[in-house]
Amino acid sequence: MQIVVGARSDVGMVRQNNEDCFAVDPALNLFILCDGMGGQAAGEVASKLGVDVLLEHCRQAARNPHLGMMEGYQEEFSRASNRLASGIRLANQAIHEAAGQQAATAGMGATVVAAQITDNVLSVAHVGDSRLYLFRNGELRQLTRDHSLVMEQVRKGLISREEAEQSEMANVILRALGAEPTVQVDLDEVWLAEGDQVLLCSDGLTRMVSDTLIAQVLAEASSPQQASDRLVEVANENGGEDNVTVIVAYVQPSPRVSVWKKLARLFLGGDRVWPN
Amino acid sequence: MAKLILKYEAAVLKEIPLQKASLVIGRAAGNDVVIDNLAVSGHHAELVLEQDHYVIEDRNSLNGTFLNSQRIRRSALKNGDEILIGKHTLVYNDEGGVPGAAAQSSMEKTQEMKGASLGGDETVVLDTKKRREFLAKATSIATEGASAESKEKLGCLTVLAGKTDQREYILTSKLCVIGKSDMASVKLKGWFAPKVAAIINRREGHYDIAPSDKAGVTKINSQVLAAPRELQEGDLIQIGGVRMQFYFRE
């Protein structure tokens, strides 16, 4: 199995600055996306801080498996998933502390959705209303549950999904990085199969583009980068009211390696790249 | 304000108001709640404010932390819960008001987010108090049942025939891989055992089983598992010479 990734972030058609931030680490198959909030430049500071702290925590853990975890280990999830949660708690702390230090950044916060693929297991962690979707056999499934007021109401059966999308309360989220000294992180794990596509996105995409249309774009694109570009385009065509950021990952079969090449690698050293 | 009442048998020793987002309980001086008794570890347990409720977490204590006489590692607290540490009892009481009140001071900052109104364009985080008001208005139930998970039934696999590394498996993890692979938690043995035969996914109290890429190796009740399906009490799972039965236990 091999993972191919594409990503794109865009300021949109209305906003002046892009408060979204993302990172892709192909060596770790790690994808992180944060959507910042707070006046002036504070949102950008928060989302950047969130991405940087989480990325650094995961990279350190890759070098040193004994790296400590922030408290709150959940036994039912793998170490990789708990590592994401640990990094997110750390990022929360960093943003919360930074927010308290200066008047300009007071009240800043960020959402986060992060994913890592370890062998066949997709680990998902999130806080806020940035989402992760799994696209499998032509079907688009949202794996994260938005921590937003309207989605909470949908889950309780008080309003419909359509009403939620129309609601003027759609921008109210219940959890964010930096809002409180500690944060509750939602985790999920899924077994991936070849042909699966994983999509991480900020609400700038999902508020502008319906799930049906997202599925259509994913089905038609020929590469993850093309899918990412097209999704951002569609969001902007539909108004682009917010910053839009997407990360698309394809789960592909490993490239076939001939027996001779394998033998050659065995005798001549494994890491050499052989021209075809 | 929420509080803890420290008791030794029937005698009330102390009332501790919960003003902080985190409270460490233990024998060593410097803990927020010091219980001077040899049955108590230096840093025994911690009370943590999560969103709008407190959670008790055992800090790998020697003698364990018990909630309503069940040993726990971590559990959400509700009014009247009794935490047993050594021979002392801590009664959790949140009748005095919002358990999130303690974190309010830091939340106030968040709330004043540049005067962004709720109906505006910017994304806004609701603080604990506001959220409660909103949800209370919108629903009759103010907050979600955080402790629902502890009552969840656990799925188990009993091996009836064939070579595996254990005779019984309790499916506590989110993903459980069956096969010969290193990541498998139900490990199949033998030369011809598939690396990954099937994956069991735990989702809100039920279990789904899905075949691996190599279709056709796994059978449920003698039928080939071609697509994911939910496991039912008594289902027979067959992979080569290994036969297992799925059941729930309390």
Q: Per-residue pLDDT averaged across B18-31, rounded?
A: 85
B121 pLDDT band, cuts 50/70/90, is low
Per DSSP, helices labelled H in chain B are 104-111, 128-138
A245 pLDDT band, cuts 50/70/90, is very high
Considering only CB atoms, B126 lies closest to which of A99, A149, A156, namely: A149
Count of helices and strands (H, E) across chain A: 8, 11
- Measured distance CA(A125)–CA(A175) in Å, rounded: 13
Among the residue ranges A41-45, B106-110, B160-164, the one predicted with the least confidence is B106-110
Q: Is the pLDDT of residue B60 over 90?
A: no
Q: What is the DSSP letter of B102?
A: G
- What kind and span of H or E run contains A47? helix A42-63
Q: Is the pLDDT of residue B140 over 90?
A: no
Sequence-distant (6+) residues with CB within 8 A of B10 are: none
Q: Burial letters for B80-117: b for 16+ Cβ neighbours within 10 Å, e otherwise?
A: ebebbbbebbbbbbbeeebbbbbbeebbebbbebeebe
Measured between CB atoms, does A129 come within 8 Å of chain B? Answer: yes
Measured between CB atoms, does A171 come within 8 Å of chain B? Answer: yes
Taking alpha carbons only, the member of A102, A85, A106, A86 closest to residue A39 is A106
Q: Per-residue pLDDT averaged across A242-266, rounded?
A: 86
- Measured distance CA(A107)–CA(A188) in Å, rounded: 28
pLDDT of residue B95: 77
A276 pLDDT band, cuts 50/70/90, is very low
More confident residue, A184 or A40: A184
B216 pLDDT band, cuts 50/70/90, is confident
Among the residue ranges A42-46, A233-237, B18-22, the one predicted with the least confidence is B18-22
Per DSSP, which regions of chain A are E strands?
Answer: 2-10, 20-25, 30-37, 109-118, 121-127, 131-136, 139-142, 172-173, 186-191, 197-201, 244-252
Give this prediction's pTM.
0.70
Strand A197-201 to A244-252 pairing: antiparallel
Q: Is the pLDDT of residue B21 over 50?
A: yes
Q: Is the pLDDT of residue B17 over 60?
A: yes
User: Are A182 and B48 inside 8 Å of each other by CB?
Assistant: yes
More confident residue, B71 or A237: A237
Taking alpha carbons only, the member of A141, A116, A117, A139 closest to residue A126 is A116
Which residue in chain B has the smallest CA separation from A155?
A: B144
Amino acid of residue A166: Q
A37-A40-A41 Cα angle (round to 5): 75
Q: Per-residue pLDDT averaged across A178-205, rounded?
A: 94
B12 pLDDT band, cuts 50/70/90, is confident
pLDDT of residue A2: 92
- pLDDT tens figures, B180-213: 988 898 999 888 888 899 999 998 888 999 988 7
Q: Is the pLDDT of residue A99 over 60?
A: yes
Residues of B in Cβ contact (< 8 Å) with A77: 173-174
Considering only CB atoms, A180 lies closest to which of B103, B118, B172, namely: B103
User: How far does Cα B49 stand from its chain's mean position?
Assistant: 15
Sequence-distant (6+) residues with CB within 8 A of B48 are: A71, A182, B21, B22, B23, B54, B55, B56, B57
Measured between CB atoms, does A75 come within 8 Å of chain B? Answer: yes
- pLDDT tens figures, A265-274: 777 665 555 5
Residue carrying the six token digits 């790690």: A30
Strand B124-125 to A172-173 pairing: parallel
Residues of A in Cβ contact (< 8 Å) with B122: 37, 171
